[in-house]
Amino acid sequence: MQSSFYVGLSGQMTVERRLTTIAQNVANMNTAGYKAEGVTFDTVLSRTGETPVAFSANGADYIDRAGGDRTKTDNPLDVAVQGDAWFGVKTAAGTVYTHDGRMQMSPTGQLLTVNGDAVLDAGGSGLILDPSAGPPTIAADGMITQNGAQVGAIGLFAIDPAAKLTRAQGSAVIPDRAATPVLDFTSTGVIQGFVEGSNVNPVLEITKLIAVQHNLDGVTQANTTADSTLQEAIKALGTGS
């Protein structure tokens, strides 16, 4: 009989994890390049007793790689990804990958993110522009031109679809498998003068929140019923003795 309490507890833990994920997505719905997070849950079957009991597993986080909407800014240092690729960025914690293409040029010509980290080329090196040569022109393959001269190319990197992504600073991610430079720009590239927003769907997140609230109500009611049943059983056993 007490297994019902453990089932209820596993259900509450599931609800809590979903709420945390929804809250994080909503908080970052306006973060450039942010990728929404989700949780997958399985059912774990316990056979320690005569009757099998189903519990909710802790769940596994995943990051939705779908692209966000692009907004035209006409800023020559804003760049958006086209296709399944990522910008490479060198941070204090190592190389991370992002769809946040808001860039800036340092006084010495370094091409940096809005957080001051180095934007990488396909070889993993930082990019140096000429700060006195005016705004750069960035082609679809990432090639940067100033005053008619090529000064470097923004690197695009492919991440294995089977790779697990973990969060890094801002909207960046770190894959558990090495990313590879993109060499074919037939269906992949960049667009200058655009910024990619998050792929969080606020309507969908609100729908999820409503569903989670209903689940919480159901779990709470189940726990209340189980508690009442146990109390009645104790009273009945006490009276019988």
Average pLDDT for residues 192-207, to the nearest whole number? 94
* Positive or negative torsion for Cα 57, 199, 158, 168: negative
Measured CA to CA in angstroms, residue 200 lies from 23, 27, 74, 215 at distances of 11, 10, 24, 22
Measured CA to CA in angstroms, residue 178 lies from 65, 67, 103, 118, 174 at distances of 17, 21, 24, 19, 9
Where in the chain are the domains? 3-64+200-240, 70-196
Please answer whether residues 96 and 155 qualify as being in contact, where contact means their C-beta atoms are separated by less than 8 angstroms. Answer: no
Average pLDDT for residues 48-61, to the nearest whole number? 53
Residue 206's pLDDT is 85
- pLDDT: which is higher, 7 or 219: 219
The string of pLDDT tens digits covering residues 98-115 is 999 999 999 999 999 999
Token pair of 198 as six digits: 């998050």
Token pair of 181 as six digits: 């430079």
The string of pLDDT tens digits covering residues 134-180 is 899 999 999 999 999 999 999 999 999 999 999 998 899 999 999 99
